[in-house]
Structure 1
Amino acid sequence: MRNTLRLAALSTLVTSMVLPAALPANAESCSWQLKELASPAFKYVTDAAEGGWIVGSTDPSQSVVRQIRWRPDGTFEALGKGRLYRVNSSGVAISSEGTIVYADRSVKKPALPDWLGDMQLTAINNNGDVVGFGHTKNGQTDAARWSAADPGTAQRIPMPAGYSYLVPLDIDDQGNILFQAQAAGGAGFVSLVRQANGQVRQVVDPNGGGTINPHRIGGGKIVGTSSADGNVTWRTTQWNLDGAFLFAVDNSTEAGNVYINSSRQMTNRVKLNGKYQIGVYGDFTQTILGGEFDGAVPTAITDDGVITAQIYSGGGMRAATYKWTCK
């Protein structure tokens, strides 16, 4: 089910609103087309990139969890143990096992730097640069970066003064990195953005004393959720690369799973009529997808107009895509 609402009727839903760029072509001749992914009986889809690359895993509740990658021709391949949870436009993915899995199925484990006792990879960009974190001998949580040109060498990401915990959440193609951070001494968590020029900015809490949960960066923007009432109500929220608040969407009290592409098109999870559905945002419109199912949750939006989703129906779950298709 697709429900498109004009912003004229949504004036009460959006605060300080400047919506992302429009999807291509006239909305009257285009629509989001649902397609189920070929896959094993139990599957999770976790990320996607332009060109048709999609990654995920078999059901984590099973005794053996396998990495799954869908290729541009629609076929899938079961790879090593664990999960693939991020992928780029060249089909290069990172796994829960701390490995980089290339399009030709070769696997490389980035070098563990001597200042870390362990490491976990968290994000990869379309250039192939990878970020992650680990723990030092003195208990500090440090961030590292591995360049596509030299994954055998870890580059330490400088810890901002006054902090002892730095976990990268995402890296864009320009090298801007989004972090979760904690001040030394165990104070509360904050979100930081390290710009490509090395400048570090704190992501602003638009509610002043509330909670924010930024988790993706793209198209020169940061997206996530924010709460002003003790984590009871969550709104989809967007910031710029300086960490300044841009707008929040008030169409759901349980917003989450917010993603953005390089054209600043957004998707998120909303709760409407008692069930989770998928929101998509472009110029002058908001579209709701998945209303015909028991539930639907997005996991990515790509630069070429594909949303990956978990669909819940009839007590089962399946991996699917919505593709922006024009006649």
Structure 2
Amino acid sequence: MWSRHVTTVLTVLAVGTASALMAPGTAAAAAPATCTPTKLPLPAGMTEGEIGAADSGSGFAGRVYNASTYHAVRWSGGKVIDYGDLPGLTATMTVSGVNRSGTLVGNTIDRDNSKAHAFRSRDGKLEALPLPSGIQSAFPTAINDAGDIVGWGYGSGGPSIAILWPASAPGTVVKVTGGLPTAGSSRAVGIDQDGTVLVNSYPVGNGTDPNAVYLWRAGSARKLAAPQGSTRVRGDAVSQGRVAGSASPADGRGAGILWDKDGSMVRPEKSGLLYSVNSTGQSVGFEPGGTLDEPLVTGVWQFGKETASLTGAEIRVAVSANDGTLGGSVRDYDVYRTFPTTWRCG
């Protein structure tokens, strides 16, 4: 079983030069390296926190909490900015996106667990986002530096549908349509700086297993290629035209996929799922496998090559920032508290 103690330096696997002491003809081994964690500050009165998103600079966003409430926060320049919550609505909160200007997006859940309320930040506090007709719950997933927000929502008994809150028309919301399947469900899960939206498409009657991935912009969409024999294909993040995601064949074993700018597929070594990619092509995800006693290993890849891996039940890496920093959280089982954490690997 993995150690449950938070360490100050995490040993990782990284690509490097072979040792000078290796005998001639010996295969080069991966050189040891370290990922060094840094615990981020918490606002007064908050006891725990988690990073959920990175902006296009060097800032992060996420949630902090105590025994009675959740708040949305941003970390920038070593400081934490507290945006509070949506009063009366927060049983729990997710912060899913942040842009360079510091606008946060996410959702809160009613205390009776009946609805999800989409929010953005403005003037230092959170405000509810408008919903399309027929949509009762909504989940923003990403925001770009222009301020365009994407996500998805659903109504009573209906399918989920991809949603766009355009920065060019503040206070409005539109359903993402055109070039996408008209049957089944759709969910917008990412947006690039040029406004291209990453959309997962779900077949009729299946709201959990997407079977197609699209890049949508201005009413037209391009379907991304999928590995032959895949029954489940999903995208999770888009940056500079590259998409991080995964595909599963009929036997259920997943494989991480990085779609490059031209739509070609890269199959990163030892990857089972990719869920974040930055502007340089660095992605984060999971290696295959994992059990309750030996949890999933978080991997870091540069295109097809794994450059680092972090192991431990206490570690949760959420995102790769554009400068290569990783953001997430560490659970300290000595005090039973979770702390927002960044890592630099190298």
TM class by smaller structure: 0.7 to 0.9
TM-score if structure 2 supplies the norm length?
Answer: 0.73
Is 1:269 aligned to residue 286 of structure 2? yes
Per-residue CA distance 1:282-325 (angstroms, 9 max, x = gap): 3796322434x554332111112221022245464332111368
Per-residue CA distance 1:9-40 (angstroms, 9 max, x = gap): xxxxxxxxxxxxxxxxxxx9x97542111124
Is 1:170 aligned to residue 173 of structure 2? no
Mark the CA change 1:135 to 1:41 in structure 2 (over 3 Å): closer, same or farther: closer
Mapped to 2, the partners of 1:242 and 1:109 lie a distance apart of 37
Which among 260, 280, 289 is matched to residue 277 of structure 2?
260
Q: CA deviation at 1:197?
A: 5.5
Mapped to 2, the partners of 1:306 and 1:85 lie a distance apart of 17
What SS does the corresponding residue of 1:126 show, helix, strand or coil? Answer: coil
Amino acid at match of 1:95: G
Mapped to 2, the partners of 1:290 and 1:113 lie a distance apart of 41
Q: CA deviation at 1:124?
A: 1.1
Per-residue CA distance 1:41-98 (angstroms, 9 max, x = gap): 32222111133322222369x5433323323333342611433221112111112131
Which among 9, 13, 17 is matched to residue 3 of structure 1?
13
Structure 1 stretches lacking a partner, 5+ long = 9-27
Which residue of the partner structure matches residue 95 of structure 1? 106
Which residue of the partner structure matches residue 19 of structure 1? none
Amino acid at match of 1:111: P
Mapped to 2, the partners of 1:183 and 1:243 lie a distance apart of 22
Q: Is the 8 A contact 1:201 1:242 kept in 2?
A: no
Which among 76, 84, 87 is matched to residue 79 of structure 1?
84
Which residue of the partner structure matches residue 54 of structure 1? 60
Mapped to 2, the partners of 1:318 and 1:117 lie a distance apart of 33
RMSD, matched Cα? 3.4
Q: Is the 8 A contact 1:207 1:227 kept in 2?
A: no
Mapped to 1, the partners of 2:247 and 2:134 lie a distance apart of 34
Which residue of the partner structure matches residue 167 of structure 2? 148
Mapped to 2, the partners of 1:186 and 1:75 lie a distance apart of 40
Per-residue CA distance 1:200-254 (angstroms, 9 max, x = gap): 23333314143223211112111112223532x322211246755x1223425xx
Which among 127, 142, 150 is matched to residue 108 of structure 1?
127
Amino acid at match of 2:171: G
Aligned-residue sequence identity (percent) comes to 19
Q: Is the 8 A contact 1:265 1:281 kept in 2?
A: yes
Mapped to 2, the partners of 1:50 and 1:274 lie a distance apart of 33
Mapped to 1, the partners of 2:120 and 2:83 lie a distance apart of 15
Mark the CA change 1:91 to 1:31 in structure 2 (over 3 Å): closer, same or farther: farther
What SS does the corresponding residue of 1:70 show, helix, strand or coil? Answer: strand
Q: Is the 8 A contact 1:195 1:241 kept in 2?
A: no
Which residue of the partner structure matches residue 212 of structure 2? 191
Is 1:34 aligned to residue 53 of structure 2? no
Number of equivalenced pairs: 298
Which among 221, 235, 241 is matched to residue 242 of structure 2?
221
Higher relative contact order (CA 8 A, sep 6+): 1
Amino acid at match of 2:318: T
1:215-254 maps to which residues of 2 (within 5 A)?
Answer: 215-231=236-252, 233-240=253-260, 244=264, 246-251=265-270
